[in-house]
């Protein structure tokens, strides 16, 4: 069973959704038959390599709301994350462009290390204040996730996987994906958002039963 997950490493809800999905997958009877692929989605394709303001200020300016309102929302999300073992440090987050991070994730997919790199990038951004738009930071994190330093350097020095990232994003648009995280089973059944573990468990079961029905038919 193939599961594709569109998400952005700069998205805090994607981090929470990943945790809850993984918990559901761990309890899924057929988990060994599930192949997970992370797909590219940029929340802000036009972002600079690193924003000059903190994330709360940026969100407040973008949405036209008070900064205090954003901070209060961040606190609520931090509480939800803590329940899943995530330490959100919104005071440290350094927002910026994630296109190269997605290109590196495409390399990691080919090397069988996409899950490891996805987790490392999410933790680096949301808990450690690492600037993911910085090539040197990305190179270090890629190696920490197990990738070959020479391959990482080659990807970051050129445009390799750029078209693959754009193709993921075109596919997202064709599927009507306007927000992330977004989970799809065999391009047939979908669920969006950082749902509860029980919702993801039902999603996995529905996907499996649908697949079995097709095979049986």
CB atoms closer than 10 angstroms to residue 23: 17
> Quick one: pLDDT band at residue 215, thresholds 50, 70, 90?
low
pLDDT digits (tens, 9 = 90+) for 76-119: 999 999 999 999 999 999 999 999 999 999 999 999 999 999 99
Give the pLDDT confidence score for residue 211 in this predicted structure: 80
3-state secondary structure of 178: coil
Q: Does residue 184 surpass a pLDDT of 50?
A: yes
DSSP state of 6: E
- Rounded to an integer, what distance in angstroms lies between the CA atom of residue 169 and that of residue 180? 12
Phi, psi of 64 (to 5 degrees): 70, 40
Structure tokens at 79: 């509480």
Which residues have CB under 8 Å from 47's CB, separation 6+? 95, 96, 97, 98, 133
pLDDT digits (tens, 9 = 90+) for 41-70: 999 999 999 999 999 999 999 999 999 999
Sequence length of the chain is 217
Q: Does residue 217 surpass a pLDDT of 70?
A: no
Q: Does residue 214 surpass a pLDDT of 60?
A: no
Long-range pairs of 28-34 with CB within 8 A, sequence gap ≥ 24? 28/201, 28/204, 28/205, 28/208, 30/1, 30/204, 30/208, 33/1, 34/1, 34/2, 34/3, 34/204
pLDDT digits (tens, 9 = 90+) for 120-175: 999 999 999 999 999 999 999 999 999 999 999 999 999 999 999 999 999 999 99
- Using the structure block, give the residue that is written with the tokens 């350094």: 94
Q: Does residue 21 surpass a pLDDT of 90?
A: yes
Give the pLDDT confidence score for residue 78 in this predicted structure: 98
Relative to beta strand 182-185, strand 189-192 is antiparallel
Residue-averaged pLDDT of the chain: 96
In CATH, the number for domain 2-216 is 3.40.30.10
Q: 116: closest CA among 105, 101, 103, 125?
A: 105
């Amino acid at each position: 069973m193939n599961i594709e997950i569109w998400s952005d490493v700069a998205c805090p809800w994607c981090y929470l959704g990943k945790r809850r999905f993984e918990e559901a997958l761990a309890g899924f009877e057929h988990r060994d038959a599930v192949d997970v692929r992370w797909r590219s989605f940029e929340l802000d394709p036009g972002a600079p390599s690193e924003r000059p303001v903190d994330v709360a200020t940026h969100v407040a300016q973008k949405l036209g709301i008070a900064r205090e309102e954003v901070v209060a929302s961040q606190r609520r999300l931090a509480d939800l994350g803590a329940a899943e073992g995530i330490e959100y440090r919104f005071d440290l987050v350094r927002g910026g462009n994630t296109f190269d991070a997605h290109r590196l994730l495409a390399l990691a997919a080919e090397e069988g290390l996409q899950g490891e790199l996805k987790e490392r990038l999410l933790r680096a951004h949301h808990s450690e204040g690492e600037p993911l738009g910085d090539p040197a930071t990305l190179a270090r994190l890629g190696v920490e996730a197990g990738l070959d330093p020479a391959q990482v350097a080659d990807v970051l020095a050129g445009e390799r996987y750029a078209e693959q990232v754009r193709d993921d994003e075109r596919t997202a648009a064709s599927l009507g994906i306007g927000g992330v995280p977004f989970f799809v089973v065999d391009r047939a059944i979908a669920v969006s958002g950082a749902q509860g573990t029980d919702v993801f468990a039902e999603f996995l079961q529905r996907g499996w039963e649908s697949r079995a029905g097709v095979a049986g038919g």
